[in-house]
Amino acid sequence: MALAEFLKSLDALLTAASETFAAIDSDEALESARVAFLGAKQGQLKATQKAMGSIAPEDRPAAGKRFNEVKQQLEATFQEAKARLASAGARGPDELTERFDPTLPGLPLRIGRLHPITQTIEELKDIMGRLGFSVALGPEIEDEWHNFEALNIPAEHPARDPLENFYLAAAKTTSDGPLLLRSQTSTVQIRVMERTPPPVRVISLGRVYRPDTADRTHYPMFHQMEGLLIDTQVTMADLKSVLRLFATSYLGSDVHIRFRPSFFPFTEPSVEADFSWNAGWVEFGGAGMVDPNVLRSVGYDPERVTGFAFGLGVERLCMRRHGITDIRDLYRNDVRFLHQF
Ligand code: FA5
């Protein structure tokens, strides 16, 4: 056989094989094409190889070189077709339908829920609402009058130290004087009394800010529930009854409450309230009879009306209720933790 004729037959074989393998769509077709082109006994490639024996010896190197190239290309085309069939099979519509079992239960959707502190706030409002307290709101950015002055905390008082508060640098230039993030919800007492004549019976719940170092029971941002009751002949006994009633409603009748004498510039006398927890005591709030100076600063007559006020830590109540031992867990935003409430 002449070299030119041999090379031509190789090209024809390559074209035919490429077209056949490209059109293959089943395992059976792939196998019969493999036998037809690449079969070791009767495949067309084998037959072409045999024809090489009839080529003139001086032309054989060129013929052999081209034969090997075509052989490699044929192998590659076969492998390509095989891979294409395998991947189509893996996601073939028939197979999907076979694997789909409509009787299996679906994947549960994770539904979001309210943050435990929001849930606590709602519940506290509910309990206090039943005791006749309505909800008052106040701003988180306060002036010195409401955060200190009207609460009987004069200019030289250590509670006003810039190191104990978050003053707003930008606010220094305003005509209102320095502004700060409120450090207690007692500010709302003043705002309510300024605009409401007695009697008053309100609570106010919200965020307060202090540059406290975070530990298991402290966080630089936390929530307080302020309570204020002003009327004629209000006594310390009323204050203690309301706090006891509130605490047992929220924490359960087995909780022990104790009151310790304390000091706040805006109440006289003042107490701190603790609840029992894990064989110890945890402070949950401060309280007292509203100081006559405070009543006077908002235009009330201390000879005619008296009242009590309290400020409770919402986080600590929530922690005691749910057995949370580290306040920081409430603000880590770990969904595994938050999802338990
Ligand atoms: C006050 O803030 C007073 N305004 C309470 C008050 C109101 C007294 C009305 C009298 C009349 P005190 O600083 O103790 O008080 O804070 C009250 C409660 O807030 C604490 O008992 C505690 O439960 C909570 N608390 C205070 N600091 C933090 C903090 N860094 N992190 C979490 N909770 C805190």
Indicate the residue among 64, 96, 128 that finishes a domain: 96
Q: Domain boundary residue among 39, 62, 96?
A: 96
The contacts of residue 166 (CB under 8 Å, 6+ apart) are 180, 181, 183, 209, 210, 211
Closest atom, ligand 1, to C-alpha of 273? 21
CA angle 131, 135, 138 (to 5 degrees): 145
Lookup: tokens for 85: 């069939």
Q: Are residues 82 and 154 in the same domain?
A: no
Q: 3-state class of 326 per DSSP?
A: coil
216 falls in which pLDDT band (50, 70, 90)? very high
Range of the domain at 152: 116-338
How many residues comprise the chain?
341
Do residue 325 and residue 194 come from a single domain?
Answer: yes
CA–centroid distance, residue 194 to ligand 1 (Å): 23
Helix, strand or coil, per DSSP, at residue 140: coil
Task: Note whether residue 106 is domain-resident.
Answer: no
Report the CATH number at residue 155.
3.30.930.10
Q: What φ, ψ does residue 86 adopt, rounded to 5°? A: -65, -45
Work out the angle between the directed axes of helices 314-322 and 116-130 (0-180°, nearest 10): 100
- Average pLDDT (6-35) is 92
Q: Do residues 248 and 170 both lie within one domain?
A: yes
pLDDT in tens, 166-192: 999 865 555 667 899 999 999 999 999
* Average pLDDT of every residue of the chain: 92
Q: How far is the CA of 132 from the centre of ligand 1 (A)?
A: 23
Domain count, the chain: 2
Q: What pTM value is reported for the model?
A: 0.72
Residues 299 and 157 both lie in one domain: yes
* Residue 45 domain-assigned (yes or no): yes
Shared domain check, 213 and 127: yes
Beta strands 134-135; 200-209: pairing state:
parallel
Ligand 1 pocket: which residues have CB below 6 Å? Answer: 184, 186, 210, 212, 218-219, 222, 224, 264, 267, 270, 283-288, 309-311, 313, 315-316, 327
Identify whether residues 123 and 88 lie together within a single domain.
no
